[in-house]
């Protein structure tokens, strides 16, 4: 079992079976929502591959080096800003063309691999097509822009699903009821790990205030002061709160969906657009969404 994340065990077992059956590929995509433990699963897989016993024993030289953060055959690549850049990919490829320092496998973990841009994805393709012997690539993929089909077609894929409510509650502990009273928080923030971090940092309390501010804005037609103070870094998550608040209202009153659907679509489009922009007047953008909601509500009345 992958402690302390028991919901990862079925996915880990699937990987074990592929390995035992000799069906393990050289490149793997781990895909799922934020906060469900994809990074932990990637590290567990890395340990299995670099362990001299092949099972993550924790005692061999490979496991000891990995635990100390000094294993020379473990490579990592993550976004620089919003993208994984082509120079970083080329540097990784150069490192992988050599031989293993410890004489076994070599593992490269690409975090947020969905942030590969066109150039960096193309640079990675040749390695995916003709990988050096003993090299394993683990692409950890979260929400956002999808990977290029040419990348996906050359990788095996494991999906890490959102855990069930009872698993989330068991992980979070005694405060779980306050989190799960609004069942959309996992879809806003991510899985149990993200939820627990949000609770401990005070982010969840702040977002509850944001949700209440959206509700007042939708009712009055004027943007609440709390929302007019938003910056570009928080824009995406504020719009996610709005999207799921609208969705929750529609689920409580299904008749709303007929006229609210265009607003839901517009909020989602705005969120994706803001992810690619900077220096946008968020107050005007948010107010426009409120106006569109009011207009659609009047038409649907």
Are residues 147 and 222 located together in one domain of the fold?
no
pLDDT by 10s per residue, the chain, length 301: 587 899 999 999 999 999 999 999 999 999 999 999 999 999 999 999 999 999 999 999 999 999 999 999 999 999 988 889 999 999 999 999 888 888 889 999 999 999 999 999 999 998 898 888 899 999 999 876 788 899 999 999 999 999 988 888 889 886 666 677 788 998 899 999 999 999 999 999 999 999 999 999 999 999 999 998 888 788 889 999 999 999 999 999 999 999 999 999 999 999 888 877 777 889 999 999 999 999 999 987 6
Are residues 128 and 228 located together in one domain of the fold?
no
Find the farthest-apart pair of alpha carbons in the chain and give their distance in angstroms, rounded.
71
**Residues 94-121: pLDDT tens digits?**
999 888 888 889 999 999 999 999 999 9
Instruction: Please give the model's pTM, rounded to 2 decimal places.
Output: 0.84
Are residues 143 and 23 located together in one domain of the fold?
yes
- In DSSP terms, 137 is beta-bridged to 27, 108
Query: For residue 181, is it within any domain?
Result: no
Q: In which domain, by residue range, is 235 found?
A: 202-300
Are residues 17 and 143 located together in one domain of the fold?
yes
- Chain CA centroid to CA 190, Å: 8
Query: For residue 164, is it within any domain?
Result: no
Q: b/e for 66-85, b at 16 or more Cβ within 10 A?
A: beeeebebbbebebeeeebb
Q: Are 192 and 167 in contact (CB under 8 A)?
A: yes
Q: Are 282 and 232 in contact (CB under 8 A)?
A: yes
Are residues 154 and 17 located together in one domain of the fold?
yes
Domain boundary among 107, 126, 159: 159
Query: For residue 167, is it within any domain?
Result: no
Query: For residue 169, is it within any domain?
Result: no
Cα–Cα dist 212/150, whole Å:
43
Number of domains in the chain: 2
Q: What angle do CA 14, 19, 24 make, to 5 degrees?
A: 95
Are residues 276 and 135 located together in one domain of the fold?
no
Are residues 146 and 236 located together in one domain of the fold?
no
Are residues 130 and 209 located together in one domain of the fold?
no
């Amino acid at each position: 079992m992958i402690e302390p994340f028991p919901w990862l065990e079925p996915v880990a077992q699937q990987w074990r079976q592929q390995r035992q059956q000799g069906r393990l590929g050289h490149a793997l995509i781990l895909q799922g929502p934020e906060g469900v433990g994809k990074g932990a699963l990637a590290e567990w897989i890395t340990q299995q591959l670099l362990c001299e016993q092949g099972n993550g024993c924790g005692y061999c030289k490979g496991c000891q080096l990995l635990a100390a953060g000094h294993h020379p055959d473990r490579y990592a690549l993550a976004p620089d800003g919003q993208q994984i850049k082509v120079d970083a990919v080329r540097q990784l490829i150069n490192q992988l063309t050599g031989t293993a320092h410890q004489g076994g496998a070599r593992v490269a973990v690409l975090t947020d691999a969905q942030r590969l841009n066109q150039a960096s994805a193309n640079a990675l393709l040749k390695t995916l097509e003709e990988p050096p012997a003993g090299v394993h690539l683990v692409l950890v993929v979260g929400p956002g822009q999808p990977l290029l089909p040419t990348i996906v077609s050359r990788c095996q894929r494991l999906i890490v699903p959102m855990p069930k409510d009872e698993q989330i509650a068991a992980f979070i502990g005694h405060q779980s009821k306050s989190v799960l009273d609004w069942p959309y928080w996992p879809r806003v923030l991510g899985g149990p790990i993200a939820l627990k971090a949000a609770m401990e940092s005070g982010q969840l309390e702040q977002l509850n205030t944001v949700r209440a501010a959206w509700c007042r804005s939708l009712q009055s037609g004027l943007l609440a002061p709390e929302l007019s103070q938003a910056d570009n870094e928080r824009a995406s998550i504020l719009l996610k709160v709005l999207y799921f608040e609208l969705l929750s209202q529609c689920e409580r009153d299904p008749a709303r969906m007929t006229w609210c659907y265009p607003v839901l679509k517009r909020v989602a489009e705005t969120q994706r657009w803001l992810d690619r922009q900077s220096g946008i007047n968020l107050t005007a953008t948010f107010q426009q969404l409120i106006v569109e909601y009011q207009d659609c509500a009047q038409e649907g009345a």
